[in-house]
Amino acid sequence: MQVMVAMSGGVDSSVAAAMLRDQGHDVVGVTLKLWGGESDSGCCSVSDVDDARRVAQQLDIDHLVFNFSEDFDRDVVDPYVADHARGITPNPCIECNRHLKFDRLMARADALGFEMVATGHHAQIVRTASGQPRLTRGADFAKDQSYVLHMLTASQLERIMLPIGGMTKDEVRERATELGLRTAGKPDSQDVCFISHTGGGRRVFLGNRIEMHPARVVDETGTQLGSVEAVELVTIGQRRGLGVGIDGRPRYALDVDVPNRTVLVGAPEELDVSGELLNSFTWVDESARSETLMSNTVSAQASAHGESLAIRELRETDAGLELVWESPTRRVAPGQSIVLYDNDLVVGGGLVSRR
């Protein structure tokens, strides 16, 4: 089988390519050139491309580099900047998976005649009783990436391979060491690839692209308690930089109002809400949608490695998918994703709406 393997220059995709080669597939490694600016983290640096190329040489497979930088700017970087300008907290890694690492890459695979696309993500694809492919959690729960792949549909899953999903990270590194791969001991990427730590981080990155505005920090009575240098950098639930109350307890951001240059703060318990409204919701398939709305085994996850959250009720409205928690739960910042699971099967996910 002809398989295009997305090789990021990390150990996971290196081992994924090796496994598929050893299984007898006709494997070609591809690395995506996404970010054209300065990068000292993530998976977009020049050294990452070089690592992927050298691993491909070690495995004796062809290696290609696709320049998707214009798509990356349009579909990931520009929306990231625009969201911050509106007081929304984006997740660029999810949007990169949605638009680049799967949609765009699969279109290129089609054009070149590849049957399957593979990646080194820690997640698994299983078949339901009806034969439908479904995404489920990886064997290593500490490294599970099903949350950031929740947008994959059943039709996409039919053409995707996740070779290391049934392995732990330690097993992946052991396999890479056995093969003598140069990426065996390489640290995992943790940060947003286009934000440079040495270049001033998020503040400088956004400040070069949008105007930043100081804002008042107020309590529920409207009394000013302090200020922040840039309202565009504050996210709901944030604690750092907001001071403490008269009771000595830290304050948390309860609301971010960019047009009025105001950050509302309060006690941590004031962040608890009874539910969330999700928009832009993506279902794995229509059967998952109907089953989920009637199921009592569905739970939610609000971050990449967050705890499982119990749901009392789901209902579809004109505004989006309303989710009611079993008990009051810490509010999720608008723009972040909540992913629904039926046991360990992903059924879909959507973006938290601004209240």
* Other beta carbons less than 10 A from residue 111's beta carbon: 8
Class of 272-352 per CATH?
mainly beta
d(CA 285, CA 248): 50
Q: ∠205-209-214 over CA atoms, to 5°?
A: 85
Cα(181)–Cα(148) distance, rounded to whole angstroms? Answer: 26
What's the CATH class of domain 2-120+163-179? Answer: alpha beta
Q: So what's the pLDDT on residue 296?
A: 79
Listed in sequence order, the residues at least 6 apart from 298 whose beta carbon sits closer than 8 Å to its beta carbon are 292, 311, 314, 340, 341, 342, 347
Query: What tens digit of pLDDT does each residue of 14-25 get?
Result: 999 999 999 999
Architecture of domain 212-266: Roll (2.30)
pLDDT band for 201, please (50, 70, 90 cuts).
Answer: confident
Return the pLDDT at 22: 97
Q: Residue 191 above 90 pLDDT?
A: no
- Could you give the CA distance from residue 229 to residue 215 in angstroms, rounded to a whole number? 7
Assigned token pair, 40: 């000292």
Residue 271 DSSP code: G
Residue 25 host element (H or E)? none
Average pLDDT, the chain: 92
Mean of pLDDT values over 80-109: 94
* pTM: predicted TM-score of the whole model, two decimal places: 0.92
Summarize pLDDT for 263-285 with one digit per residue, the tens: 999 999 999 999 999 999 999 98
Residues 154 and 309: their CA atoms lie apart, in Å, by 24
- In this prediction, residue 249 has a pLDDT band, given cuts at 50, 70 and 90, of confident
Catalytic center residues: 96, 193
As a whole number, mean pLDDT of residues 208-224 equals: 94
CB atoms within 10 A of CB 274: 12
pLDDT > 90 fraction of the chain, expressed in percent and rounded: 79
Check: CB of residue 96 under 8 Å from CB of residue 76: yes
Over residues 26-76, the pLDDT tens digits come to: 999 999 999 876 654 555 567 888 999 999 999 999 999 999 999 999 999
Domain ranges for the chain: 2-120+163-179, 212-266, 272-352
SS3 226: strand
Name residue 258's amino acid.
V
Q: Which helix (H) or strand (E) holds 268?
A: none
Exposure on the CB side of residue 354, measured as CA atoms within 13 A: 12
